[in-house]
Amino acid sequence: MLDREGAWGIFYSVSSEEPDFLNAQKQALSDIVAERNKLIHQDLALLDTSSIEGYYNLISLLDEQNPRLLAHLEELGWMLTSCIEGLKDLQSFIKSPDFHQFIHSSQSDA
């Protein structure tokens, strides 16, 4: 059975229990997006298409970014999986007899 805090705990922890962690994740992902945008909109425009070395440099930049991007995507996947599991738990709780008791106890506490 989920208690009042447990029913909503997953949403609260993702959005506000660790704001520094979430802000750091957002900033790191934004940095990768900015690098990728620079690569596409600036570096690619300066690419000497007659030079194989230019292509190698471009590949090196992409190869350097890829592991960092995959790490962030993995982290986001974990967060989404946690949210989905929390929603499944909430759905089970709503369908259980305990939900009816929970609603009535909440109204009597008010």
From first to last of its 110 residues, the chain has per-residue pLDDT tens of: 344 444 444 444 455 567 787 788 788 888 888 988 888 888 888 888 899 998 998 889 889 888 988 888 888 888 788 889 989 988 898 898 888 888 878 666 65
- Cβ within 8 Å of residue 84, ≥6 positions away: none
pLDDT of residue 88: 92
Q: How far apart are the first and last CA of the chain?
A: 22
pLDDT of residue 52: 94
- 97-109 vs 52-95: helix crossing angle, rounded to 10: 80
pLDDT of residue 8: 42
For residue 68, the number of C-alpha atoms closer than 13 Å in the C-beta half-sphere is: 16
